[in-house]
A = this chain, B = another copy of it.
């Protein structure tokens, strides 16, 4: 059985714990956190330890699954883990991936460990689909749609504004953009593929007009997007917007034939009742691959693009060839 540490215990950490329980070849070994007194795992008797003792515990762990936030935690925690043992994270700040990769790869190569970053569904599973589509259709088009679903990053961006008590942001794909992708148009920019719906609870005395303007102008998050803003009470927010569902779709088109007369279309879609629980399940599959890579003598940082599908699955090669090919 693979001994897995869970580093960070919010929604994602709990999703990982559930996925470890469901996997036939894993046991949760311990939770590591900044606030051990506040963490109550689902697994009876599972030790909850301060993150400071991760170094001491590492020799007893086959892999650490990092469940912190991409904004604040993973840029520090993943390289720190890479210096200790095998690791896997679901770092999802697309623009900062090359820098994160570099930091983690350096730490892993120095320490002689191996692990996988960006092992969620996007980046992660959807990245592998985009890679295969690009390889098979060298002159094709691929467009990715996110939602309808809750975006943690955009919700947090609104919550950081002064005067905001709490907020949820839903990302919704625009149907016209989906039709255009299926019609083989080159992918529209993000701002024209999605709209954003925000539910915001204000602190007493905050100015709704000023906050609405601040949201609409936020570069990289809302500027340029069709954005809908609703101010509601924090009670209503908690009651009606507690769900963590999400969805996504990739549409790829390509042409073959002497005059490009044959059209091909590939689609992959996900509909998830719980984004953190699904992402936790993906992380555990990639944790299995990380442990196997280490046993094969590989070292350094990998991403899902580097991982053979067979390494994710508990069965061995002969069984997979008989059952899945």
Q: Which residues of A contact B (CB under 8 A)?
A: 15, 18-19, 22-24, 42, 94, 97-98, 101, 118, 123, 125, 127-132, 134-139, 254, 256-258, 261-274, 277-278, 280-282, 285, 288, 303-310, 312-315, 317-318, 320-322, 324-325
Contact = CB atoms under 8 A, between A and B. Distances in A.
A119 to B, nearest CB: 10
Given A304-B309, A305-B309, A320-B131, A22 B256 contact: yes
A213 to B, nearest CB: 33
A116 B310 CA distance: 14
Contacts of A306: 308, 310, 317
Question: Taking the full assembly, how many copies of this chain does it contain?
Answer: 2
Contact of A324 (B130, B314, B322): B130
B277 A98 contact: no
A78 to B, nearest CB: 15
B98 A322 contact: yes
B281 A303 contact: no
Contacts of A265: 270-271
Given A22-B138, A98-B318, A135-B288, 17 more contacts: A24-B138, A42-B258, A97-B322, A118-B325, A129-B268, A131-B309, A131-B310, A134-B315, A136-B281, A136-B285, A256-B273, A256-B278, A257-B273, A266-B268, A266-B269, A266-B270, A267-B268
A98 to B, nearest CB: 5
The 8 closest A-B pairs by CB, nearest first: A262-B273, A135-B312, A256-B277, A305-B310, A262-B274, A135-B285, A131-B309, A123-B325
A177 to B, nearest CB: 19
A51 to B, nearest CB: 25
Contacts of A264: 270-274, 277-278
Contacts of A137: 281
A176 B2 CA distance: 41
